[in-house]
């Protein structure tokens, strides 16, 4: 049952009630705070775990979850701001009150033209309320006061700030919760213990989100620490990025297909003067000046790169904002100029596919059973910590055996991690999807491999149930529960039409004797063609036998190391397949008997002298 607390506009200070709410927040993870007439908010205790639970209850995808801080006291907020990040016009807490014009999510940067943009996944962002909304603002202040000395910085990712974390109460596919009763029902469903509502109408213009004029074109870079920084994307900066990428591509000889990732890394090391594995702004500036000097004769004064331009480029390339450009960040910047199709990356992807195929033992004629099962086992062996995903170190164990350098492993994992936003781990499903994407990029390879078919089937069944259906030839991945294709035997061939020769009757048709084998029919057919001067067909029997023998050898070879669950699953699939084959045989036998019965009913005997023949009126 929800303990309900209502805070109305005319009530006095609610310090004691706010502290009571704070106690509930700390003990029970979250409390529901409703604002009728505007929106509803879910306020959790200052732990990321609580926000994760709330976001999961809203059915929001994990990669799109977003939290913010409920800012009550601007003085405290000002204390934790990196003063180097804010413009002079906001150099005091009083000046920060310019942000109180509306309820908003804010980012404060040096460039006043892009302040107060809607920021997601920023390091520090705050939900502010104007002073006119006294009850709500005071409630946040009381929560801040109650959290003094009780906030573990690790719980909020290193931010020493005592406001509550806030996430909006938006249902996936249902929109905002604007009704208090609906919000309360949601709270009861997810186990909220305290529900607080502010019974005042919010006279706020929903469109009042902008304080400064927002520039639409900007290069965004994340600064290290507490703020999100945005840089103007001037037309000159746009052309600068293009020219810089072109100069760098020419210098690194990236257009040459013979140049691989390691060659590019060697050039990166030559730029990295102190050899610490990262480029500082000074090192980038020296390198750019060198490029600029080499191209000075062909560049006008307006095109020449200034120190300010270098600073902008550095912050644009430095994706994580740690004031250091890694090789991965630089290469991703260059890949952007290639639209993600540089010869070096294509070569690396091909090398990765070859390594995986080698581990999975995919070759011409390999059967799908072993392809899929081997990949499951390879993944299971790599997942040494049993987390159901593999990190960069675990992937490296596989790739180092196939001649990958450390930088190639980093790039390969960075590419997968970027595609799936997997927070440092790739699961079995994502590995399959990634392989499928690479093979689609190489159609000549994709058409020759069995594993591509398996990946495609896994992708098509992405949202289907992972339960086992004994009527289908599929296998379920033990790591992810994904249903993957599994063909356990070659298809049954249809039986031949039953035609026999009765030797005692010298050519009379006899339905009671066994039919000739396929090999006998092949001999008869070959003799007929040879008598007519027709070239003999290939020995299909020998070819088929060779294929069958190869299939049996592959299928009966020792299987890779499997878990008990995998072994049981494979056994169940084999039993189900065997039952299906027997059922098919019974059906074919029944159909054959029915045809024979119909044939016998229409038999007519013809006698010519000493010879007799049985003739079927229906079939001729």
For 317-361, write each residue's pLDDT tens digit: 776 667 788 888 887 777 765 655 667 777 788 888 888 877 776
C-alpha span between 153 and 47 (Å, rounded): 10
The whole-number pLDDT of residue 442 equals 61
Max alpha carbon distance in the chain (Å)?
A: 125
- Of 115, 147, 170, which Cα lies nearest the Cα of 21? 147
Res. 105: pLDDT tops 80: no
Claim to verify: residue 363 and residue 480 sit in the same structural domain: yes
94 located within any domain: yes
Helices 406-420, 261-271: crossing angle, 10 deg rounding: 100
CA dist., res. 234 & res. 27, Å (int): 50
Q: Can you give the residue range of the structural domain that contains 39?
A: 3-199
pLDDT of 14 > 70? The answer is: no
Centroid of chain to Cα 263? 30
DSSP SS3 for 53: helix
* Radius of gyration for the alpha carbons in the chain, expressed in angstroms and rounded: 36
The SS3 of residue 6 is strand
Q: Is residue 591 a part of any domain in this protein?
A: yes
- The predicted model gives 43-60 an average pLDDT of 72
Q: What is the pLDDT of residue 435?
A: 76
207 within a domain of the structure (yes/no) = no
Q: How far apart are CA 345 and CA 437, in angstroms?
A: 14
Q: Identify whether residues 146 and 195 lie together within a single domain.
A: yes
User: Whole-angstrom Cα distance, residue 59 to residue 38?
Assistant: 22
**Alpha carbon distance 183, 171 (integer Å):** 10
Residue 493 lies in a domain: no
**pLDDT class for 423, splitting at 50, 70, 90?**
low
Check whether residue 478 and residue 554 sit in a common domain: no
Instruction: Report helix, strand or coil for 103.
Output: coil
- Band of residue 405 on the pLDDT scale cut at 50, 70, 90: confident
Are residue 310 and residue 437 in the same domain, yes or no?
no
- As separate numbers, helices (DSSP H) first and strands (DSSP E) second, the chain gives 20, 20
The pair of structure tokens assigned to 590 is 């029944």
pLDDT tens-digit series, residues 195-218: 777 654 443 333 322 222 222 222
| Beta strand residue intervals within 85-217, DSSP E | 104-106, 126-128, 165-168, 170-171, 175-176, 194-199
Claim to verify: residue 37 and residue 160 sit in the same structural domain: yes
Q: Could you tell me the CATH number of the domain that includes residue 276?
A: 1.10.238.10
Same domain, 443 and 557: no
| Mean pLDDT for the stretch of residues 149-154 | 49
Query: Helix or strand or coil: residue 620?
Result: coil
Contacts of 510 (CB under 8 A, 6+ apart): 500, 501, 502, 614
Last residue of a domain, one of 199, 221, 242: 199
CATH number, residue 111:
3.90.870.10
Nearest Cα to Cα of residue 437 among 530, 499, 346, 376: 346
283 shares its domain with 144: no
Mean pLDDT, the chain, whole residue set = 61
* Whether residue 363 is found in the same domain as residue 420: yes
Instruction: Categorize the per-residue pLDDT at 464 as very low, low, confident or very high, splitting at 50, 70 and 90.
Output: very low
- Work out the average pLDDT over 412-417: 78
Residue-by-residue DSSP string for 218-261: EEEEEPSSS-EEEEE--HHHHHHHHHHHHHHHHHHTTT-TT--H
18 & 161 share domain: yes
* pLDDT value of residue 10: 34
Kindly state whether residue 292 falls inside one of the protein's structural domains: yes
95 DSSP 8-state letter: G
Q: Is the distance from CB of 454 to CB of 405 less than 8 angstroms? A: no
Task: Report how far residue 199's alpha carbon sits from residue 183's, in angstroms, rounded to the nearest whole number.
Answer: 14
pTM, entire model? 0.36
Please check whether residue 300 is in contact with residue 294, taking contact to mean a CB–CB distance below 8 angstroms.
Answer: no
138 and 49 within one domain = yes
Which has more pLDDT, 304 or 94? 94
Q: Are 460 and 515 found together in one domain?
A: no
pLDDT bucket at 560, cuts 50 / 70 / 90: low
- Among 197, 257, 230, residue whose Cα is nearest residue 38: 197
- From 199, 223, 258, the end of a domain falls on 199
C-alpha 315/C-alpha 222 separation (Å) is 8
pLDDT for res 527: 58
Residue 368 contacts residue 376 (beta carbons within 8 Å): no
Within a domain: residue 435? yes
In a domain, 208, yes or no: no
Domain end point (choices 308, 341, 374)? 341
The model's pLDDT over 567-596, given as tens digits with 9 standing for 90+, comes to 677 778 878 888 888 888 899 888 888 877
Determine, yes or no, domain membership for 214: no
Name the least confident of 207-211, 427-431, 507-511, 611-615.
207-211
64 and 186 share a domain? yes
Q: How many domains does the chain fold into?
A: 4
Taking alpha carbons only, the member of 449, 471, 472 closest to residue 370 is 449
In what helix (H) or strand (E) does residue 113 lie, and over which residues does it extend?
A: none
Q: Encoding tokens for residue 416?
A: 């997968």
């Amino acid at each position: 049952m929800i303990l309900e607390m209502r805070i109305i506009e005319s009530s006095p200070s609610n310090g004691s009630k706010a502290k009571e709410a704070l106690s509930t927040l700390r003990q029970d993870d979250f409390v529901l705070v409703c604002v009728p007439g505007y929106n509803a908010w879910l306020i959790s205790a200052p732990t990321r775990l609580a926000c994760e639970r709330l976001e999961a209850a809203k059915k929001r995808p994990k990669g799109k979850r977003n939290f913010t801080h409920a800012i009550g006291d601007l003085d405290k907020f000002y204390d934790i701001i990196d003063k180097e990040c804010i413009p002079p016009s906001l150099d005091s807490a009083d000046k920060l009150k310019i942000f109180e014009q509306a309820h908003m999510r804010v980012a404060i940067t040096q460039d006043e033209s892009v302040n107060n943009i809607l920021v997601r996944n920023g390091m520090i962002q705050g939900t502010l309320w104007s002073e006119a909304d006294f009850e709500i603002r005071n409630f946040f202040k009381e929560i801040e006061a109650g959290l003094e000395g009780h906030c573990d910085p690790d719980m909020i990712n290193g931010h020493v700030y005592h406001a509550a974390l806030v996430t909006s109460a938006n249902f996936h596919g249902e929109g905002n919760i604007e009704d208090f009763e609906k919000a309360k029902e949601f709270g009861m469903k997810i186990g909220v213990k305290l529900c607080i509502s502010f019974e005042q109408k919010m006279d706020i213009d929903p469109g009042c989100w902008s304080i400064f004029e927002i520039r639409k074109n900007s290069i965004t870079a994340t600064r290290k620490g507490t703020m999100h920084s945005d840089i103007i994307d001037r037309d000159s900066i746009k052309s600068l990025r293009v020219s810089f990428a072109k100069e760098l591509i020419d210098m690194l000889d990236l257009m040459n297909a013979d140049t691989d990732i390691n060659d590019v890394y060697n050039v990166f090391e030559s730029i990295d003067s102190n050899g610490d594995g990262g480029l500082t702004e000074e090192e980038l500036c020296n390198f750019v000046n060198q490029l600029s000097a080499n191209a000075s004769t062909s560049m006008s004064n307006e095109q020449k790169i200034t120190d300010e331009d270098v600073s902008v480029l550095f912050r644009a390339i430095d994706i994580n904002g740690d004031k250091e450009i890694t090789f991965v960040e630089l290469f991703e910047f260059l890949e952007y100029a290639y639209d993600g199709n540089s010869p070096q990356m294509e070569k690396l992807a091909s090398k990765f596919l070859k390594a995986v195929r080698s581990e999975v033992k995919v070759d011409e004629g390999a059967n799908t059973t072993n392809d899929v099962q081997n990949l499951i086992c390879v993944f299971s062996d790599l997942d040494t910590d049993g987390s159901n995903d593999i990190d960069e170190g675990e992937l490296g164990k596989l790739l180092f055996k196939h001649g990958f350098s450390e930088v190639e492993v980093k790039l390969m994992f960075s590419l997968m991690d970027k595609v799936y936003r997997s927070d440092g781990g790739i699961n079995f499903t994502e590995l399959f999807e990634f392989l499928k994407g690479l093979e689609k990029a190489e159609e000549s390879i994709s058409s020759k491999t069995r594993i591509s078919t398996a990946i495609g089937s896994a992708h098509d069944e992405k949202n289907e149930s992972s339960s086992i259906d004994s009527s289908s030839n599929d296998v379920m991945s033990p790591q992810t529960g994904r249903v993957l294709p599994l063909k356990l035997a070659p298809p049954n061939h249809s039986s031949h039409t039953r035609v026999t020769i009765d030797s005692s009757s010298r050519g009379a048709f006899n339905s009671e004797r066994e039919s000739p084998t396929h090999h006998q029919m092949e001999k008869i057919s070959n003799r007929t063609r040879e008598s007519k001067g027709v070239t003999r067909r290939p020995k299909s029997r020998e070819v088929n036998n060779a294929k069958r023998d190869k299939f049996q050898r592959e299928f009966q070879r020792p299987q890779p190391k499997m878990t008990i669950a995998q072994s049981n699953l494979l056994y169940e699939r084999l039993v189900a397949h065997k039952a299906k084959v027997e059922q098919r045989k019974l059906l074919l036998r029944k159909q054959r008997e029915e045809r024979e019965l119909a044939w016998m009913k229409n038999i007519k005997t013809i006698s010519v002298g000493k010879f007799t023949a049985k003739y079927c009126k229906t079939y001729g």
